[in-house]
Structure 1
Amino acid sequence: MENARIEAIYNETFSGLKLFYRDTNLPENLISNYKIGQIIKERGFTDMTFIGGGLSGNFRYLIASADAKDLSKFDPDASKTGHYLLASDAYFKVLDIQQAENKTQVFLLNIPDNAVSLFKNSISNIEEEIIEKAQQRFKDKINLDLIPELQTEDWIERTRLPIGMSIEGEMFFNDSEINESPQEIAINKNTKKIEIKKPWWKIW
């Protein structure tokens, strides 16, 4: 893959990147399915909020995405919950997993479906930087008060299911089947990570 193409993909992924929250309660057998570096795919829509309070359950998805849709533009009530949505069949890379006080945060990066192999087989300096931000968010928010608007029956129902797997723990996507291209093998072995100049991105 040419460097210009790689930079275009990273520009698409990280330019305008925002952080979103999705809390639920998950049993340990589902939580243990997530591994750092893993690529997952969510079949359904992904409901999430930009409002970050204390963890509503034992598990939080912190989701970084530049592609989420603000539903308040179509539904004024959605502004109360800070409701954003990702379309079905979205792909994510598991960047980080944090655990403290019997609570877990899994940090997901929303990635383009045409760049799954690239993200699986390489890591960038930008990924490393946003992981630090995600870890700090977990520390800062784990003991905050809950957001009342996110405790309603409707919101809890919207966000109760795991991302990337069924409630029985069956993963929707097997990332072990992703093949390395010669260019991506070279990225891994020769440069270890992709260095991207980033005057154009700032996480929100």
Structure 2
Amino acid sequence: MPSGFKPVSEKITKLMNEIENSLFENNEEITNWTYPGATLYYKDCDLKPSVAEKFTKDQLIRNGFFLDVSARGGGIKFNTRFLIASAKAAKLYKVNPDNERFGHCCLNLDSYFKVLDIYKLEGKTQIFLLHIPAKSLNFFESVTSNWDEDFIKKARKSFDDKIHMEPISDLLEPFWLKRTNFPVGMDASERFYPLTSVSTITKNEQPLYNGIKNLAKDNSDINIPTPFFSRQNRKSKERGFWKKLFGK
């Protein structure tokens, strides 16, 4: 074998090691952004079955609008509850007391989520989302932590406990329903916002965007939205390439 020549298998091993190292490079920063201080927030809505079925466990989602949620959890009138675990929600009710009765909180434009669990009970569905930083999608595409399993248990218990409660009347008012009665992560045509692009923040949106980041103490580089291209899709394409090359 010529000097300096490395077999294909060795090159692939080196490449995979580099990918694995990059995957866990920001592990601690990602964990610290996501889990400590995470609180449960509620967003109830009526979804068509064809829309609800589009959500799948472990799915990654980008939400292309400012997401209003409530810190108040009660009974559920509608057929779907989005339960969101987030450590970076802005508590808008603290700066606008008029909205305190709604427990009004907001997650920023281009927030990212992982679907941790889909739980169906007595004809209703709870879709449990974990709020994750923008630059963690490679990590969360490949990793499930012990934190996630604990969160899922708490989320299911929450649904078990609340499904027979009376809904909170404030959260059934037209003002609130107008802000919440639609799915997370979908546009007006009920299509998921693509992970391969990010939203353009308009001049009018910039003050709210900055205000939410400041209220949520979310100013680290790890949550700057960037286009994401799935590592799993790339692996699939790589396997197809090697299959064509070697016929295996």
Report the TM-score when normalising by structure 2. 0.69
The answer on whether the counterparts of 1:29 and 1:169 sit within 8 Å (CA) in structure 2 is no
The answer on whether the counterparts of 1:33 and 1:169 sit within 8 Å (CA) in structure 2 is no
Residue 48 of structure 2: aligned partner: 27
Taking only aligned residues, the RMSD between alpha carbons, in angstroms, comes to: 1.9
Amino acid at match of 1:178: S
- Structure 1 stretches lacking a partner, 5+ long: 183-204
The answer on whether the counterparts of 1:98 and 1:135 sit within 8 Å (CA) in structure 2 is yes
The answer on whether the counterparts of 2:24 and 2:139 sit within 8 Å (CA) in structure 1 is no
Percentage of matched positions with identical amino acids: 37
State yes or no: 1:103 paired with 2:124.
Answer: yes
State yes or no: 1:171 paired with 2:189.
Answer: no
* Deviation (angstroms), 1:54: 0.5
SS at match of 1:20: strand
Amino acid at match of 2:173: T
Q: 1:65 to 1:37 in 2, by over 3 A?
A: same
Q: 1:23 to 1:143 in 2, by over 3 A?
A: same
SS at match of 2:93: helix
SS at match of 2:101: helix
Q: What does residue range 112-151 of structure 1 map to in structure 2 within 5 Å?
A: 112-151=133-172
Q: What does residue range 12-23 of structure 1 map to in structure 2 within 5 Å?
A: 12-23=33-44
* Deviation (angstroms), 1:38: 0.3
The answer on whether the counterparts of 1:58 and 1:102 sit within 8 Å (CA) in structure 2 is yes
* Deviation (angstroms), 1:5: 2.6
* Deviation (angstroms), 1:3: 5.4
- Structure 2 stretches lacking a partner, 5+ long: 1-21, 197-227, 236-248
Report the TM-score when normalising by structure 1. 0.84
Amino acid at match of 1:27: K
The answer on whether the counterparts of 1:17 and 1:66 sit within 8 Å (CA) in structure 2 is yes
Name whichever structure is richer in helix by fraction: 2
The answer on whether the counterparts of 2:67 and 2:106 sit within 8 Å (CA) in structure 1 is yes
Deviations for 1:64-101, whole angstroms, at most 9, x for unmatched residues? 00000011222111111101000111000000001111
Residue 201 of structure 1: aligned partner: none
In the alignment, the residues of structure 2 paired with residue 90 and residue 2 of structure 1 have an alpha-carbon distance, to the nearest angstrom, of 20
Q: What does residue range 19-58 of structure 1 map to in structure 2 within 5 Å?
A: 19-58=40-79
Deviations for 1:79-138, whole angstroms, at most 9, x for unmatched residues? 111010001110000000011111100000000001111011111110111011101111
The answer on whether the counterparts of 2:91 and 2:105 sit within 8 Å (CA) in structure 1 is yes
Report how many residues are paired: 182
Which fold has the larger relative contact order, with Cα–Cα distance below 8 Å and residues 6 or more apart in sequence?
Answer: 1
Amino acid at match of 1:56: K
Q: Which runs of 4+ in 1 moved over 6 A?
A: none
Q: 1:153 to 1:177 in 2, by over 3 A?
A: same
* Deviation (angstroms), 1:166: 2.5
Q: 1:118 to 1:4 in 2, by over 3 A?
A: closer
* Deviation (angstroms), 1:56: 2.6
In the alignment, the residues of structure 1 paired with residue 149 and residue 171 of structure 2 have an alpha-carbon distance, to the nearest angstrom, of 30
In the alignment, the residues of structure 2 paired with residue 110 and residue 97 of structure 1 have an alpha-carbon distance, to the nearest angstrom, of 15
In the alignment, the residues of structure 2 paired with residue 41 and residue 5 of structure 1 have an alpha-carbon distance, to the nearest angstrom, of 20
Residue 13 of structure 2: aligned partner: none
